[in-house]
Amino acid sequence: MHGCVRSPVLRLIGVFVAAHLVLACAIGRPEGPAGAPQPSEPPASLAPGKQEDGTMTIDEFERDANAAVAVAERYWSARFANSGQRFVPIRRVITYEEAGEVTCGREPLPANNAAYCPDGDFIAYDVDWAVVAFRRVGDAFLFYLLGHEYAHAIQVRLGINYRYTIQQELQADCLAGAYIGDSVRGGSLTLDNGDLDEFRSGLLAVGDDPDQPWFAPGAHGSAEQRTEAFFDGYERSVNACLS
């Protein structure tokens, strides 16, 4: 228990990035491959895209989730190519609806969560929960969430394995910031008014409980640390994350 009061929305976000360690099976991605979009494709937009009644549709959710993964893949593919390294995209994105429906290694994935699973090289997330979060928080957070999970796949490809969870997590936040910032600057992603605020409020909400020791196995960092890490990457690109 902790003393701070969080709105249901923010609590939801807190759960979002709470656990994503390990986790192999297949239920199919929202749709389509995560391959690089065609050059003629317009930039992915973080536009809210609300209907007249204010809700965002499942179609919009799927489009944004696919776009988030496609933009991340295109970004990291280019970064690796610039370094003369071969890039292998993650194998798949899996959605699930029940706790334990997907496992990573032998560990069942819980409801209300998202994870990158090194054993199987996939990202999986609870789709019902993610749709709720998408509608409540906004699409920017979906790009952050999938960017953060994709960053864990990048860490595996680069052989980065920190001693403490918090180091691994803050770097993933930073790399998520780098992919989004660079993609905006490069024109493959456009931000709308309010998107940066969505990132800020989302990151403030995913900070660890202040009483949690930084060296705890599940530690991700305080709200301040996570915000700083994300915007460090957003503003200064990947080099800010690898120092």
CA distance 151 to 146: 8
CB-based contact 56:135 (threshold 8 Å):
yes
Complex with Zn ion: residue 89 or 221, whichever CB lies closer: 221
Measured distance between the N- and C-terminal CA atoms of the chain, rounded to whole angstroms: 35
- Shortest Å, Cβ 204 to Zn ion: 17
- Shortest Å, Cβ 15 to Zn ion: 13
Segment 19 to 38, residues that bind Zn ion, using CB under 5 A:
20
Residues near Zn ion (CB under 5 A), total: 3
- Shortest Å, Cβ 126 to Zn ion: 15
Complex with Zn ion: residue 20 or 74, whichever CB lies closer: 20
Paired tokens of 183: 């993609």
- Shortest Å, Cβ 118 to Zn ion: 12
Segment 111 to 130, residues that bind Zn ion, using CB under 5 A:
none
Complex with Zn ion: residue 168 or 237, whichever CB lies closer: 168
Encoded one letter per residue, x for contact with Zn ion by CB under 5 A and - for no contact, window 152-191 reads -----------------x--x-------------------
CA distance 190 to 47: 8
- Shortest Å, Cβ 160 to Zn ion: 13
Complex with Zn ion: residue 113 or 188, whichever CB lies closer: 113
Residue 239: how many other CB atoms lie within 10 Å: 10
- Give the C-alpha distances (Å, rounded to integers) separating 44 from 24, 103, 137, 138, 226: 29, 31, 18, 15, 25
What is the distance, to the nearest Å, from the Cα of residue 129 to the centroid of all Cα atoms in its chain?
Answer: 14
Complex with Zn ion: residue 70 or 176, whichever CB lies closer: 176
Nearest to 10 by CA among 132, 95, 96: 132
- Shortest Å, Cβ 36 to Zn ion: 24
Segment 61 to 90, residues that bind Zn ion, using CB under 5 A:
none
Segment 3 to 22, residues that bind Zn ion, using CB under 5 A:
20
Torsion, CA 188, CA 169, CA 140, CA 241, rounded to 10: -40
CB-based contact 9:103 (threshold 8 Å):
no
Which parts of this chain interact with Zn ion (CB under 5 A)? 20, 169, 172
